[in-house]
Each structure stands twice: as C-alpha cells, then as structure tokens.
Amino acid sequence: MLTIKPQPFNSLWVSAQSLQELGETFIRFQEYYESPNPDFHGKPFTLGSVKSYYSIKYGGDTYSDMWVGFNFPSSILQPFFNGLFDPLTEHEQEFLRLVKYRTDSYYIIGAQSRSVLRHELAHSMYSYCEDYRIEIDALIQKNKRKFGKVIQYMVGEGYSKKVVSDEIQAYVTDNDNHFILDNLDPILINSVNNIYQKHRRRCSNNEQ
C-alpha cells in the first residue's frame, strides 16, 4: 500500500510498506527516466528484462538493495498511462491510480525515511528551480577536471552521465557520501552548499 504526501518544490513523497514494495513500484519508472542501459532509458521494456539485467550485472534481484530513493518528473508517467508498458504490474497500477487526475507538471520522490527524503528533495529542487540548476551545472562544467574523480565514481555506482550533476548536488548538500566528500575540493563543496542555501528559500517561497 502506497502513501503520498505533498512536499516543497511541487513534489510528491511516495512511501510504501517496505523498501521492497517501493522498489517494485518504481523500478520501471526510474529506469525509463535515467538508466545507463540504452535498452531501458527512454524506451518501453518489460519488468522481466530489467530484472534479468540487474541479476546478470549485480548477481541477483538486487534493485531494492541498491536503490533506496527514487526521483523523476511527472512527464515520465505519460508512456505508462498511454499503454506503452502494458501489462502494468499491480504496484504500477496502484501508483498511477493515485495520480491519474493530476494534469500539471510535478516531481515524484520515493523514499522510506526522512533522511532519504532530504536527499531526494534536492533533486526536486534541482528540477523545479531553473536558476539553481543553471548555477550548479555551470559550477561543475567550469571545474570539470576537479570534479572528474567524483564523476567517474558516480558512473561506476550505476548513475547515468546525464544525471551526474544532479546527483552530485544532492549528495554534497545532504552530506551523505563519504567518497564524494573525501575526494572533492572543500572549496567546491562549499560552493555547492552556498548555491543551494542561496536558492532554497527563494525557490520554496516562489511556489504557488
């Protein structure tokens, strides 16, 4: 059973009765949005195919162990509503029923704890607040060589290169990844956090 609560930056926090249920609900939404595997990113695919991929690559049904938080824009749902992923699983159907009457653009977060929610809200802010996103992207691009080791680490952890900047800002501002904090120049860590603090209140206050 899923529970939905509204959050800042026009986002929805979705939780379940277990992390396993949350992973089963979001696996195809999340992989369609940002999978590094070109067979899944932006393409329809079956649940069996993505589970087979994880089993071969990581040695078992590891999805809910590897990923404890989920985030994606509501536009990702349209192919599922349009039948491109039929047959939908029971978990997918339950989630889509809960949001089927929303016609605006919003952001979806999946998390089982408030600590994970804090991280995922940074993704929501990155999506919602254009000025914040532009400034973060510019900082990382300007210092790409200094961010190089962290970028390689993120890709090795299974993140698509397309979302690396988003992931870096979420991990740095949440202070919850020791590799990144130990391998990134403290000046850049402070720069990311300063940009985050500068925009957070303004972005939240700008919500309608």
* Residue 176: Cβ within 10 Å count: 14
SS (H, E, C) the chain: CCEEEEECCCEEEEECCCHHHHHHHHHHHHHHHHCCCCCCCCCCCCHHHHHHHHHHHHCCCCHHHHCCEEEEEHHHHHHHHCCCCCCCCHHHHHHHHHHCCCCCCCEEEEECCHHHHHHHHHHHHHHHCHHHHHHHHHHHHHCCCCCHHHHHHHHHCCCCHHHHHHHHHHHHHHCCCHHHHHHCCHHHHHHHHHHHHHHHHHHHHCCC
pLDDT for the residue 208 = 46
> 105 φ, ψ to 5°?
-95, 130
- Give the CA count within 13 Å in the CB-facing half-sphere of 102: 19
How would you write the pLDDT of the chain (208 residues) with one tens digit per residue? Answer: 999 999 999 999 999 999 999 999 999 999 999 999 999 999 999 999 999 999 998 887 778 888 999 999 999 999 999 999 999 999 999 999 999 999 999 999 999 999 899 999 999 999 999 999 999 999 999 999 999 999 999 999 888 888 999 999 999 999 878 999 999 999 999 999 999 999 998 887 766 4
C-alpha–C-alpha distance, residues 191 and 172, integer Å: 10
pLDDT for the residue 207 = 64
Of 57, 66, 76, nearest to 20 (Cα)?
66
C-alpha–C-alpha distance, residues 55 and 38, integer Å: 17
Start-to-end Cα distance in the chain: 30
Rg of the chain taking only CA atoms, in angstroms: 17
Question: Which residues, including other chains, have CB under 8 Å from residue 170's CB and lie 6 or more apart?
Answer: 119, 120, 122, 123, 126
